[in-house]
Structure 1
Amino acid sequence: MSGPSSRMLALLSLLQVHREWSGDELAGRLTVSPRTLRRDVDRLRELGYRIDSVRGPAGGYRLAAGSDLPPLLFDDDQAVAIAVALAVAPASGADIAEAAVRALATVRQVMPQRLRHRVDVVDAVVRAPGSRVDPDVLVAVSEAVHLRERLRFGHGADEAPRHVEPHAVVARDGRWYLLAWDLDRDDWRTYRLDRITPRMRTRARFEPRPVPGGDPGAFVAARFKGSDRDDVWPCTGTAVLAVAARDVAPYLPPEAEVEDLGPGRCRVRLGSWSWEGLAGRFAGFAVDFTVEGPDALRVAVAAVAVRLGSAAGR
């Protein structure tokens, strides 16, 4: 640490993140002696921070539960992280762009000059998604998840109210989704928050169900791939394309695999929600290709060829 002030700021940051630390852990993180750590803790107490001592073999410290803290302080990395998060907030899909701009101006104003420079050089062009979530809806749904309270809402143009047990709010590709157990359909469902209109609170509590796989984010991602549990495409196959790898690589999804086979040829491994859907993805490259496997993909390519021929009137 460069000095006592910077060291105390780092100490306060650690205490705010982790409610209880052993003395040895804190001293090690700050690269100081236990004696210096005790002096820094005493200085923070003199400034009004309520820090309790924890008894034990190594001793320790924690912020007093329920205490009112003096104005929050941030170390350099935290301040920059907050500013960058506010700068890219419009891309989150929540309708908070104006509020984020005002908050960023407020945070920037109280930053020292060295931090303002670090923030100002991050000049990202942010494209907000077409659909945005009302912050009030985001808060209301998130509160129902937190309180484990059943939720009633309208969804899109469907007038019939949905009655669900909300389990998680998931952000994905600039959109927000609610993962919930639908009580009327007796199954897991995902709902876009920008299409949700909350109704009056039910105040009816529920016991959470185990989300398949244990990870709500992975479960929602799996649903978008047509899988019931794992975040993988249920149908995966390989084909050799009559095109250079460098020419097809920009159009491949991140999970695809491409192998250069020499001039004008490459091997591509792709996934999809169905075998015929996968056949269509390979056909969409608009180049000749040969299926390497599996047999289910060969059958699907033949079926899609017949369907396309019929659509063309042949």
Structure 2
Amino acid sequence: MAKAPRLLVFTDLDGSLLDHHDYDWSPAAPWLRRLAKRGDAVIPVTSKTRAELAVLRRQLDLQHTPFVTENGAVIGLPPAWRLPDDPPPGDDGLTLFTPGESADALARRLHALIAERLAPVRLFSELSDAEAAALTGLAPADATLARRREGSQPLLWDGDEDGWQRFCKVLEEDGLTVTRGGRFRHVMGRVDKGRAVRWLARRDQDLHRPPARTLALGDGPNDVPMLEAVERAVLIHGAHRLPVTVRQPALYRTRQAGPRGWVEGLEHWLSEDGKENGHE
């Protein structure tokens, strides 16, 4: 029997691989082990910061796969994913690419627009640890990591939805990208999860033949570009109750939320032994 093709599994974290409320991922642990044993790459693609993800990568045993943080603003490569012309790795052995603007530059632009429009906006990165912890359910120390932005700025909007739509248009006219996760609205440069996923798929093709197949799982509006950038996708039932529209012919919508929905989606596309359904 021919060996099953390699698979790149791009996954959102909050509300997908991690439970929206308590961040538990234990229901997905057997599948994570199965994919690792098969040689597939599980690649986190998240709105979390690199500081937050450093801890999770160790817990999830994903230190040897790439990652995307801040909705596409930061791409991190472990040594096996590097090419000779890449920038040198940092002290942690990771090579970083930051295709958008820095968080500091975004904050300056946002403060100018907020003042000009008298917009009821707060930047998550500028909250206190206690405020951030109360909003996210994180411990204060973890909230500190969540506020350590490198290429994006999550926003808290304290006005009505019509006002947000007007301000969102102002941001987009100023050349910024706006997306929405399960908890916050995120502002970035010209980046998104889909662009980062396509970049990593091309990098994998530069390193391996034949090309790997691609699958993505996510639950929020900010996951849409990622779900539309792969061959097969899973839209996980969202605890956030936000509308999510995905233009993807190979899309499975789960009944369950969080890591149980993550498992449901994988089991739809993959058979029990890890082979792709319809591609054994």
* TM-score, normalising length: structure 1: 0.21
Larger Rg: 1
Higher relative contact order (CA 8 A, sep 6+): 2
